[in-house]
Amino acid sequence: MNVLKTEMRRGICSWKFAGSVVLILLMELVGAGDSFSLAESYLQMDGSLAGLKQAGWILLQGASQSELFLIAVSMTAAFSYASVFYEEAENRFVLMSLSRTSYKAYIGTKVLVTAVSGGCCVICAFCLQTIFCIFAAFSSGEFFGEFMGYLGQHMLLSLLQWAGLAALSGAFWAVIGGISAVVMKSRYMAYMAPFILYYILSEFQSRYYPELHFLSPKEWVVSKYLSVGVRYGALIIAVCLASGVYSAVIRRRVAHV
């Protein structure tokens, strides 16, 4: 348990984690550029509570479902922890770690912390952009209390659904980064490979199998064709499969240290 706490702190309380959050947040806000313009037009046409509600909803939806946001998740979710096992194996620090914990616990900790750190950085960025969008729509403070009540009653469930899907996506790409670092023997591939795979899978599905939406990682998070349940199912299966592969890769690499 102490090893898990130490590794979790290492994965989340670091400058790499903070950098991941900032990068995702910035790309979210850039991706929501058109939404800011559209929301501003709503505010100009209708400054009432109804207009502000619509503007706030447009901002939240635009920031959390933009193409740039999905790209940012695949690019940066692995940044904080995915390369840690590879670096430990290369430096033979694995042997010291195994003296403090069991073989299975070590592997489980590496896989779990990789997934959790990837999901948490996305959640943090998602929460920050939600706060930013709300205050951007209600910079004057007018109707702020009424909108927060409306948010809690009508929009909270959608926001939680988006946040959960985004977190699972971050966990998946972080684990993919960990696998890539070990298999390709480069810590830099932990950061590059997830985005490359995201791009290849998305383009492959759109060009050759446009009707099979579940093949695209983009559709797992934001989709007009797949239900929320199907998207959650696809992401959970993807995370479990990736975690199983990562466990096997770690086990094999440890045997050769």
pLDDT class of 195 with cuts at 50, 70, 90: very high
Residue 158 has pLDDT above 90, yes or no: no
What local confidence, expressed as pLDDT, does residue 150 receive?
64
Q: Please check the confidence at residue 184 and state whether its pLDDT lies above 90.
A: yes
**Does 99 or 12 have the greater pLDDT score?**
12
Residue 140 has pLDDT above 70, yes or no: no
Query: Tens of pLDDT along 55-102?
Result: 666 666 666 777 888 888 998 999 999 999 999 888 888 877 777 778
pLDDT at 46: 52
pLDDT in tens, 16-51: 999 999 998 888 777 766 665 655 565 555 555 565
pLDDT band at 129 (very low <50, low <70, confident <90, very high): confident
Q: Could you please report the per-residue DSSP string of the chain? A: -HHHHHHHHHHHSSHHHHHHHHHHHHHHHHHTHHHHHHHHHHHHH--SHHHHHHHHHHHHHHHHS-HHHHHHHHHHTTTTTTTHHHHHHHTTHHHHHHTTS-HHHHHHHHHHHHHHHHHHHHHHHHHHHHHHHHHHHTTT-TTHHHHHHHIIIIIHHHHHHHHHHHHHHHHHHHHHHHHHHHHTT-TTHHHHHHHHHHHHHHHHHHHH-TT-GGG-HHHHHS-SSS-HHHHHHHHHHHHHHHHHHHHHHHHHHHHT-
Residue 249's pLDDT is 94
- Which pLDDT value is given to residue 2? 77
pLDDT at 182 over 90: yes
Average pLDDT, the chain: 82
Percent of the chain exceeding pLDDT 90 equals 36
Domain count, the chain: 1
Report pLDDT for 62. Answer: 65
Range of the domain at 39: 2-255
pTM beyond cutoff 0.85: yes
